[in-house]
Amino acid sequence: MIRYIQESRLEELFRILSRRGPLYLPLAEGPSLSFRPWSEGAPVDLKTVNSTVSAKEIFLPREEAYFCYRRAGRELALEPLEQEAANAVAFGLRACDLRGLEMLDRVFKDQDPPDGLYLRRREQTAIVALACAEPAPYCFCSLFGIDPARAGGADLQAWWHGEGLCLKALTAAGEELLSSAGELLHEGPAGAEEPPRVETGNFGLKLEGLPAGLRERFDDPVWEELYRSCLGCGACTYICPTCYCFDLEDFGHQEKGERYRCWDSCMFREFTLMAGGHNPRPTRKERVRNRFLHKLQYYPERYGEIACTGCGRCLRSCPVDLNIVQVIRALGGESR
């Protein structure tokens, strides 16, 4: 059954949902839009496609401390830190970011050993997907068979209709979210049983036309040309829904402190720099090649799917346009 809520009453819905635990919503932070815990009066933006940073940060946060240590003389105490993930709701995820989550799941959830920090957030978070009414000019998720109006892996699908949101439960957890909203929700309007179908462009690419045989093209001269414009800023890796590299560091002093995990970037020289000074990926050429081959060859070899969701963030944000569409084209991937 389709339920409906007027846009003017969404704040009340957020108030109810946030009583369960953290409620993540796309919040404006200056010119940036990213998924942050909602609080009263927060600047929610459920219209803009797409958030600046992908929704991956709900499950793999920018940084999180996972144990604290205390040292006294020769003694060392290690205490795991508790997470605040219980009964969270992630509201407003787009279909591309949900596909990205599937890719992270293979690494952090399905591959043994599972990542306890990620898994706990994943299991404790109900997801409300939001259909894209209109794709942005840089969107190309349709290339990967994603329907921006029908997300896989969500508990509840939402879509804009008139002056409000239609809500359709997809799982028991989704039903529970709806019933918790009680009388705030009305019966859905007639003729709005399904979100309207939406297609994005594909920049003239076709899935079957994507570059194959990359194993043999490791030394292809195309890499010599491609990497030159790269600034090595790492922005692509932070905004990308399928980038997940991380670092582990200690913060504190001799007696007391924390170990935390934070996002890292394969675009940085230090990423693979070894203590003795050897670096297997010493220049931007090796680093750019590794990042794009990870998307187009390494991840697919390991997990069976190209690690791109067509979210378009790298097309929008890379200052030198070294985005995945340019790379696919340079490798000869064109529509046939």
Partner 1 sequence: MTAVNPLLPQKVTLQEIVAETPEIKTLRLASEKGIPFDFIPGQCAMISLPPVGEALFSITSSPGCREYLEFSIKKVGAVTRALHELEPGQQLGLRGPYGNGFPLEALRGKDLLFIGGGIGLAPLRSLINYCLERRGDFGGIDILYGARTPEDLIRREEIMERWPAAPDTRVYLTVDAPYPGWEGHVAFVPAYLSELAFSPENRIAITCGPPAMIKFVLKALEELNFAPEQVITTLEMRMKCGVGKCGRCNIGSLYVCRDGPVFTLAQLRQLPPEY
d(CA 108, CA 224): 33
| Beta carbon of residue 183, minimum distance to partner 1 (angstroms, whole number) | 35
- Whichever of 101 and 266 has its CB closer to partner 1, that residue is 266
CA 304, distance to chain mean position in Å, is 19
How many Cα atoms within 13 Å fall on the side-chain side of residue 89? 24
Strand 256-263 and strand 125-130: the pairing is: unpaired
| Beta carbon of residue 325, minimum distance to partner 1 (angstroms, whole number) | 23
- 320: CB partners within 8 A, 6+ apart: 229, 230, 231
State the DSSP H helix or E strand holding residue 236, giving kind and residue range, or none if neither: helix 235-239
The Cβ of residue 288 has, within 10 Å, a number of other Cβ atoms equal to: 23
| DSSP codes joined into one string, 17-76 | HTTTS-EEEEEEETTEEEEEE--TT--B-SSSSS-SS-GGGGTS-SEEEEEEEEEETTEE
- Candidates 50-58, 153-161, 190-198, 266-274; binding stretch for partner 1 (CB under 8 A): 266-274
The answer to whether 273 contacts partner 1 (rule: CB under 8 A) is yes
- Candidates 4-12, 194-202, 287-295, 309-317; binding stretch for partner 1 (CB under 8 A): 287-295
| Beta carbon of residue 254, minimum distance to partner 1 (angstroms, whole number) | 7
The answer to whether 264 contacts partner 1 (rule: CB under 8 A) is yes
Among 9, 20, 71, 284, binds partner 1 (CB under 8 A): 71
| Cβ atoms 296, 211 nearer than 8 A | yes
The answer to whether 126 contacts partner 1 (rule: CB under 8 A) is no
The answer to whether 250 contacts partner 1 (rule: CB under 8 A) is yes
- Whichever of 175 and 247 has its CB closer to partner 1, that residue is 247
| Beta carbon of residue 87, minimum distance to partner 1 (angstroms, whole number) | 14
d(CA 164, CA 6): 4
- Candidates 3-11, 44-52, 194-202, 272-280; binding stretch for partner 1 (CB under 8 A): 272-280
Residues that bind partner 1 (CB under 8 A): 66-67, 69, 71, 74-78, 80, 107-108, 111, 113-117, 119-120, 123, 215, 218, 244-254, 257, 259, 261, 264, 266, 271-276, 278, 280-281, 286, 290, 293-294, 297-299, 301-302
